[in-house]
Every structure is written in structure tokens, then in C-alpha cells.
Amino acid sequence: MSDTRDWHNLVITFDSDGLEVLASAASAAVESLRRPPSGPRSNWTPAALHHLVTSLEICPDEGINLNTVLAELGFVVWSHGVVPSDPACVAHLHPPTLVPAVVTELAIAASNQSMDSWDQSPAATEVELHLMRWLADLIGFPETGSGVMTSGGTASNVLAMTLARSWAAKKLGVDVLKTGLPPEAASWRILCSDQAHFSVQRAAAQLGLGRDSVTTVETTSSGAMEVAALDRVLIEMTRTGLEPIAIVATAGTTDLGAVDPLSEIAQRARRHDAWLHVDAAVAGAFLLSDRLGPALSGIELADSVTVDFHKLWWQPFNASALVIRDAERFDLLRVKSNYLDRGDELEGVVNLVGRSLDTSRRFDAAKVVATLRTLGRLALAEMLEHLVDLSRYAGSVIESHPQLELIATPTSVMCVFSAPDVSDDDLRHVQQRLLARGEMVLGRTMIKDRATLKFTFMNPLATTDDVDRLVILVASELNTL
Amino acid sequence: MSDTRDWHNLVITFDSDGLEVLASAASAAVESLRRPPSGPRSNWTPAALHHLVTSLEICPDEGINLNTVLAELGFVVWSHGVVPSDPACVAHLHPPTLVPAVVTELAIAASNQSMDSWDQSPAATEVELHLMRWLADLIGFPETGSGVMTSGGTASNVLAMTLARSWAAKKLGVDVLKTGLPPEAASWRILCSDQAHFSVQRAAAQLGLGRDSVTTVETTSSGAMEVAALDRVLIEMTRTGLEPIAIVATAGTTDLGAVDPLSEIAQRARRHDAWLHVDAAVAGAFLLSDRLGPALSGIELADSVTVDFHKLWWQPFNASALVIRDAERFDLLRVKSNYLDRGDELEGVVNLVGRSLDTSRRFDAAKVVATLRTLGRLALAEMLEHLVDLSRYAGSVIESHPQLELIATPTSVMCVFSAPDVSDDDLRHVQQRLLARGEMVLGRTMIKDRATLKFTFMNPLATTDDVDRLVILVASELNTL
């Protein structure tokens, strides 16, 4: 048989020799990230990057020294990445990450617990459950509340809609996961606002209901669902025999950061026996702040809530959670397998595969816990409040700027604006030129069929001076049109 | 406005100060992993671990020193984890991880590129595409082949079945993602062997077809799909008006590691115009080895292939890929959104959200590339061959052992066995006691309705001496019954 000797410096072990190798390689990986402060991204074109990257041989027959490989990733990849901690990186809900989370990722990868079964993650399973219970408390759920970590807000929303679909089918005596969609499903509808995330449509598409089963409800100019419009839709559905199986309320829309009127929507959901899901991927973190939290009042009335730790909790991708009011409803999903979750385990064993649409799953809960314990609630709340303040400041600067027009007063970390008398195409050129030159990664979206630009402030280190500079950059670019 | 000064040591930056903080924290994280060689897991009960973990306050108001938090994670979590590099950790396809991958995870988390849109991951998008092209080549796909990284084999299989469902609907002129399942879907069937992974059923459940739409085909005693049985099922389907929209062949079953006869299945799929998906989550890595690769002959005839890098490529969770023969078929999924993938980008820009069921998505491709370049193909192949040899050795030891019975000759990294005249319950007790005492994390499964035990060899550092010891441990435990 072949010799295992050569592999001791490659396979992670937790003895002194193994940790020494790991520590030294970790230093080299950190060093590979070094770059001069040169803006949010390099000015290389897609074609030039394609050429650079494809010059790497993915898998040579003979390996290359690790330090060389890491250094090469540095100059080929990291130096041509987007820098989320650059104050001019303001396009998306794309955060810079926090030191406790990043170094815990190293430990997560080294220990490689898998969250599907307890015998692959004994303590880790308890940590995830403990975090989920804490989050359920923060939301205001009763003691029955718990959740599961997922790979993102889209996955959390898909899981919520999967549960809602099973719940609706169960009322008909149908196990939809077993026998498929019943004929009644043709009349099932999912309601959300016209500013809800497109993952609601994606979930409906995935579940076999189709995007057309999603009925969107009009929003106010601030981007929040209009309750009167919701009532009109519900009355019309009753009249035409359609069944609202789920209402998705958004706590923090992607573009305007609006929070739907949760308590009023909850009343309607209760009345129509519809599953109430709150997509708080964006604004869930507000619950940490005494100042910002009250905006989410009513979230405790939901059946399920999406929270994205990889947004305003500054966690590396991916880290999202779906929390549900009554953890027993996860039984709607459960399928036994011969090798996992057989239901005949040691006393006290929980196999989280029963709550998840994934099987193998990484221990992302560890980085979230490391972050929460290191920073504490007050520091996280202050960082968040700072970004909301920054966004409001940007709003006031834009409002008083002769060339720019504020679309809505910021209430979250986004600031959406436009320029009067500038065409949609020209706004696009502004965004693309700043991106192409590597000067700013600026957001661009459509609000009520109108092209707009968008700042999304995710970087706690950004200041009002940075905002001033960003506004000047955009205005100068508009002047070159 | 609040002061940002205090946060400079918390938010990741790539200047000297930021990297110094990161390097020092990374060292502490590495140190937190240190543990004496004390077996594959601690002997703490689920109840004791629950008590230990829930004694941590998840989010105190005031933060705690990072080094304290990391050390605490060490003694509360990592020291009560499962150690995949312990030779007695043999239950699941749960690998120890490799140094290049683990330290690249740190860089992935620090740079936090998001793979949904190019303006969050310019070079990273090119790296993922380059890796997917290489994998398509390795599979033997034509130049049209490409893929996307997913969070696991289950997600890859769900994505494949999503494409297969859209493809079947398209033939009827239906856009199933838009309008939902057509009435014809009641006759759609997905075929796989009775040893296929349960994620095939999960995908059918998720897609609204229901688990009952999955028809399983009998397998030989080695666990591979029986072609004659497949033919019988297909004939019966034609007779009864059912439509096989997809056939899922398995390259490496979870329990026996069997590879279905891919070429023969491909012929049948072609003849019935069914989507051929090969779930090579387990055995995909065999393609790296000149010796093991030929077992997968015919894989190049598939429409789509799942490969799990977090199995026999020793990557930390999560890292899977779905590769498809014709990348244009990803258009079956595509939905435009206002803020991502608008279709009016800079020339050459690719937004990978168009290929994925996720939105935000981490840059897992980086760790795979770092690993492939550092080890090279030949070393990876040798590690794999060593594990297959080890599994065969285990098979021979068990075969000649008076108390044990080999269920099938190992051809992959698993070795499934039983003990004559020992009840299913007693076999369970053997597994549970070894787990409870922290002596062995042993696999347990059902083969043809019979309880069995299972070794899964994932650790390249394991030796034949380790195998001898494992067999003795199991036999001794049987003697105590």
C-alpha cells in the first residue's frame, strides 16, 4: 500500500505539529490579502480579468508550493476583488466582515463539523440550537420558537414557503411532499409587496406553484406595503375563490429599506389562516438596537422569520437563519433516511437534517456566536445606528444638491436617488463608468419603473466625509455626460 | 454622529494595521483548536453538552475579549466536536480537511466576495467559471459544458432536477417556473436506483412532484442499478402512460460506493428523451485517478453531474458543484431582477445568479483551486487510491473474521459489514456505545432491510494498523453483548 508519510503537512490535525503548519499557512493567507488603499476594486476589464484568471492551470499533475499558490491568489484574485471595507463600495447589501467571524471561519473549516447529524457535530448542534433559541427570543417568539441556519436569505425564504405549502396541504389532508401538489394548488396564492425580494417568486417557481402564483401588493412611496391595497387583494381573492396560503411581509426592502406594517398584516394573515412569513433578511439586526428595534414591532406575530447574518451582522457569506414560531412544524419536512436521522438515537440526540433542505452543512453558527460574544449587543447596535445615520446624512446632502433628487427619505442603510432630466441610459453610464474605472461600486435599481442610483452603507468605518466625497464623485460623473 | 474610532480593530481591512490584527487573531483561533489525541470525540452525553453550551450567554450587552471568546470556543465546542482526522472517525462521508483549503477559507471570509453579481466578485466570478470549465473537461463534456458551485450534493441534485423539470415542461411549451406544474406533471416520473441518495426524493418533494413521483429501480448485491430492472420499469411506464422525465444514475452510492452502469443508463435516457443526471457526489473525485477513473466511464453522456468537493476532495463544508453538458440550459432558470442581472451590464460581465438557486453566495471555488494547485492531481489521486486500498483491506480482514460478515466487496472508501446471529438492536447498541464512550464514530445503515455497520475511510493518514484496531474494537464490543 502507498505511504501516508508525505501527507502529514497537508491534512489538518490538532496536535502541535499540525497546528504549527496551520498557523504558518494562515499567516501566509493573511499576507496574501495585503493591498494598497486603491479604491473599491481594480480598473481591469472583464476581458482582462478573464485572461489573467484563465492563465492559471487549475490542477497541474504536480503540486506547487503552498506559499506560492497563496501569493498568486493574492495578486490574481484578491487584488482584483471588490473591497467591501472601502467606503466607495456601496452597491449592495455586501458587508465588510468582522475579525472574530473571519478567524472563526478558519476554525470552522479546520474542525469541519457537519450539521446534518449529531454524530458529526455533537457540541456544534447544541451551539446552533442555542443561537436559534436566542434569536427566537430576540424576535419575541414563545418558547416553542427555534430555527435552523441556511445558506442565505433566498434559501431561508424557500424553506419558509416550503413549510407554508405543506401547512396549506395538511389542512386538506394532503402530504404534499409525498404525493405532490393537489389540484387545489391551482388556486393557492402567495402575497407580498411589489418591493419584496425576488426570492419570493423564486420560491414559488421552485415549489411548482409558479411565479404567477405570487400576487404583489402595492406599496407607499416609502416602499412599505399598503394595507388598504392588501385588503383589496384579499377581498378580490375571496370573491374569485383564490386562497392566500402565505403572506410574506418584508422587514427591510432591498432598495428602500422599508418595513411593511407587520401587525396589521398579521391580523389579515390570521383572519385568512395564511402562513405569515417575515423576510427580515435586511432589518432583522435592528432588533439589537433599542432605537431601531421598535420599527419591527409585530414581527413576533409571524409564523416564520428570515434573518441574514451575512448582511447587517457583518458575517462572511453564508449565514442566514429561518426561525419559526413553533419548532414542531419542522416535522412537516422530515424524511427519515437509513444512514441519518433514523429516529433511534442515543437519548438527547438531535439530528438537524430534519429541519433543513440541506444535508451536509457547515457550522456557520460558530462565527455568529463568536461575533456576538466579542462585540456585545451595544456595539453592534451602535454600528448599525451609525450606518442608518450615515444614510440619513446622505439623504440630506442629496436633497439639497442641485443636480440630484432623493427618491425617499432613508430609514435604513440605503439611500436611493436620481438626477432630474437624466435618462435611464445615462444613469446606467454613470454607474458603469465609476465601476469600470474602479472608483466606486455604486448601486443601480428601478423604483416604480424608473432608473435610480443607490448607496448602500454597510461599512461601519465610513464617515460623513466619505459620503460627501461619494456625492461629489457621482455629480462630477453626471457633468461629463 | 457616533464615533467610528473603536471599530478599526474589528472590521477587516487590508492595510498593515488591519492585517496585523487579523494575523494575531488567526493565531489565537488556531491555538483554540489544540487538543490531546483523545479519540474521535469526547465522551460527554448529549445532556451534558446541552448544559455546557447553554451556559454561554449568546449576546451579552458588553463584549468580551476576543482571545477569551476563542479560547472558550476551544474548550466548549472544538474539544467536544468530532475529529475527522482521527482514524476512528469512520461513520460518514465526513472528511478531514486540507491545509490549503482551510487557510483559503480565512481569505474567502476576509475578502467576502459574493458570487451573485460580477460587481461583488469580479475576479472571483472568473475563477469559479474557470474551475467549472476544468471540471466539465475532467468529466468529458464538450466545450459547451460549465457549472455552478452549490452548498452541497443535495442542493446540486435539486438544481439538476429543477432543470430537468423545466426541460420536460418546455417540450410541452410550458414555462413551469412561471405558470407552475402543468396537469401533465401528474404522469412525470424520476427514476433512480434503490440505493440512490435520499436527496432525489427530497428534490421531487421540493419541486411539487412529490416523493411518490420517484420510482426506484432494483440494484445488484453490489448496490449498482440493474439494467434489466430499469428496462422493466421503463416498459411498464410506457404501457401505463407515465413519462420518465429524468433518470438519476449514482456514481458512488452512500453505503456501498457502487457506480451504476452509466453508459447503459445513458442509452435508455436518450431513447426516452429523459434528462440524465449523474450524482457523482461521492465518486466524482475518482476522475482524478488513472486507476479509479475508468469506473465512471459513460459519465460524459450525462446532461448534468453533481460533484461534492467536500467529500473526497477533502474540502471544508460547503463545496459542491453542478456541472451541465450545455451551459445554455441554465437559461431555463433565469429571472431578471431590478438590482441584479439586469442584462445591461459592462461588456463581458457574467452575473452567476443566473445559474443558481441562491442569491448571495460565498466564493468556495477559491479553496478548491488553492487545494488543486497545491497538491496537484497525482497526490490527490494517490490519497484517494490509498483510501480505496484501505477499504479493501478492511473488507479482507472482516471477511476472514469469525464474528463478522462482509456485505459487499469494497470498491470505494466504504466497507459495510454485519455480524451473523446478532439482532438489529444489538448492532445499534454496538454503534451507540462506541459513540457514547467516544471511542469510535462508526456508521450504521440498512442494506436491503437489514441493519449493518459501516466504515467510511476519509482520512488519508489512516493506516492498515488503524483498520486492524477498529475491527478489534467492534468485535470486542460485540462480545460484551
* End-to-end CA separation in angstroms for chain B: 70
Is the CB of B23 inside 8 Å of chain A's CB atoms? yes
SS3 category, B160 = helix
Asked whether A49 and B122 are in contact (CB, 8 A), the reply is yes
pLDDT of residue A427: 95
Is the CB of B169 inside 8 Å of chain A's CB atoms? no
Pick among A11, A255, A313 to test the B interface (most B CBs inside 10 A): A11
pTM exceeds 0.95, yes or no: yes
Where would I find the beta strands (DSSP E) of B231-362? Answer: 243-250, 275-279, 304-308, 320-324
Locate A326 and state its grid cell. 413553533
Q: Give how far Cα A369 sits from Cα of A151, A317, A324, A431, B359, Å.
A: 17, 15, 20, 37, 24
Contact residues, chain B, for A433 at CB < 8 Å: none
Q: What is the pLDDT of residues A217-253, one digit of tens each?
A: 999 999 999 999 999 999 999 999 999 999 999 999 9
pLDDT of residue A326: 98
Number of inter-chain CB pairs under 8 A, A vs B: 635
Locate B12 and state its grid cell. 477587516
Where would I find the beta strands (DSSP E) of A311-462? Answer: 320-324, 405-406, 414-418, 441-447, 450-456
Is the CB of A169 inside 8 Å of chain B's CB atoms? no
Is the CB of A121 inside 8 Å of chain B's CB atoms? yes
Contact residues, chain B, for A162 at CB < 8 Å: 206
Provide the percentage of residues in chain A whose pLDDT is more than 90.
Answer: 93
Q: What is the pLDDT of residues B133-185, one digit of tens each?
A: 999 999 999 999 999 999 999 999 999 999 999 999 999 999 999 999 999 99
Pick among B20, B59, B67, B253 to test the A interface (most A CBs inside 10 A): B59
Least CB-CB distance to A316: which of B158, B362, B385?
B362
Tens-digit pLDDT string for chain B (481 aa): 555 557 989 999 999 999 999 999 999 999 999 998 889 999 999 999 999 999 999 999 999 999 999 999 999 999 999 999 999 999 999 999 999 999 999 999 999 999 999 999 999 999 999 999 999 999 999 999 999 999 999 999 999 999 999 999 999 999 999 999 999 999 999 999 999 999 999 999 999 999 999 999 999 999 999 999 999 999 999 999 999 999 999 999 999 999 999 999 999 999 999 999 999 999 999 999 999 999 999 999 999 999 999 999 999 999 999 999 999 999 998 766 666 666 678 888 999 999 999 999 999 999 999 999 999 999 999 999 999 999 999 999 999 999 999 999 999 999 999 999 999 999 999 999 999 999 999 999 999 889 999 999 999 999 999 999 999 999 999 999 8
CA distance A2 to chain B (A): 6
pLDDT of residue A222: 95
Least confident of A95-104, A345-354, A365-374, A389-398: A345-354
Is the CB of B465 inside 8 Å of chain A's CB atoms? no
Q: Is the pLDDT of residue A137 over 70?
A: yes
Is the CB of B228 inside 8 Å of chain A's CB atoms? no
Contact residues, chain A, for B454 at CB < 8 Å: 339
Nearest-10 crossing angle of helices A365-399, A122-139: 40
Contact residues, chain B, for A57 at CB < 8 Å: 373
pLDDT of residue A357: 93
Locate A122 and state its grid cell. 455533537
Pick among A42, A315, A338 to test the B interface (most B CBs inside 10 A): A338
Q: What is the pLDDT of residues A97-119, one digit of tens each?
A: 999 999 999 999 999 999 999 99
Q: The dihedral of CA B285, B287, B289, B291: what is its sign?
A: positive
Q: What is the pLDDT of residues A62-73, one digit of tens each?
A: 999 999 999 999
SS3 category, B150 = strand
SS3 category, A453 = strand
Q: Is the pLDDT of residue A163 over 90?
A: yes
Contact residues, chain A, for B110 at CB < 8 Å: 30, 33, 97, 102, 316
pLDDT of residue B424: 94
- Which helix or strand (DSSP H or E) is residue A190 part of? strand A188-193
Asked whether B78 and B33 are in contact (CB, 8 A), the reply is yes
Give the chain A residue nearest B369 (alpha carbons): A58
Is the CB of B71 inside 8 Å of chain A's CB atoms? no
Is the CB of B65 inside 8 Å of chain A's CB atoms? yes
| Domain boundaries A381-479, corresponding CATH code | 3.90.1150.10
Comparing CA positions, the residue from A148, A248, A243, A150 lying closest to residue A191 is A248
CATH of B7-81 given 1.10.3470, 2.40.170, 1.10.1660, 1.20.1650: 1.20.1650
pLDDT of residue B5: 57
Contact residues, chain B, for A213 at CB < 8 Å: 180
- The band of A338, judged by pLDDT with boundaries at 50, 70 and 90, is low
pLDDT of residue A15: 95
Pick among B20, B41, B90, B126 to test the A interface (most A CBs inside 10 A): B126
The domain spans of chain B are: 7-81, 113-361, 376-479
pLDDT of residue B37: 80
Is the CB of A267 inside 8 Å of chain B's CB atoms? no
Comparing CA positions, the residue from A114, A466, A147, A124 lying closest to residue A284 is A147
Mean of per-residue pLDDT scores for chain B = 96
Residue contact A107–B52, C-beta within 8 A: no
Pick among B54, B108, B192 to test the A interface (most A CBs inside 10 A): B108
CATH class of the B113-361 domain in this structure:
alpha beta
| Domain boundaries A5-81, corresponding CATH code | 1.20.1650.10
Contact residues, chain A, for B45 at CB < 8 Å: 346-348
Is the CB of B306 inside 8 Å of chain A's CB atoms? no
CATH architecture of B376-479: Alpha-Beta Complex (3.90)
- The band of A347, judged by pLDDT with boundaries at 50, 70 and 90, is confident
Is the CB of A440 inside 8 Å of chain B's CB atoms? no
A444 φ, ψ (degrees, to nearest 5): -145, 135
Give the mean model confidence (pLDDT) for residues A400-408. Answer: 97
Is the CB of B44 inside 8 Å of chain A's CB atoms? yes
pLDDT of residue B3: 54
Least CB-CB distance to A152: which of B19, B316, B359?
B359
Q: Residue A174: CA atoms inside 13 Å, Cβ hemisphere, count? A: 20
Contact residues, chain B, for A349 at CB < 8 Å: 46
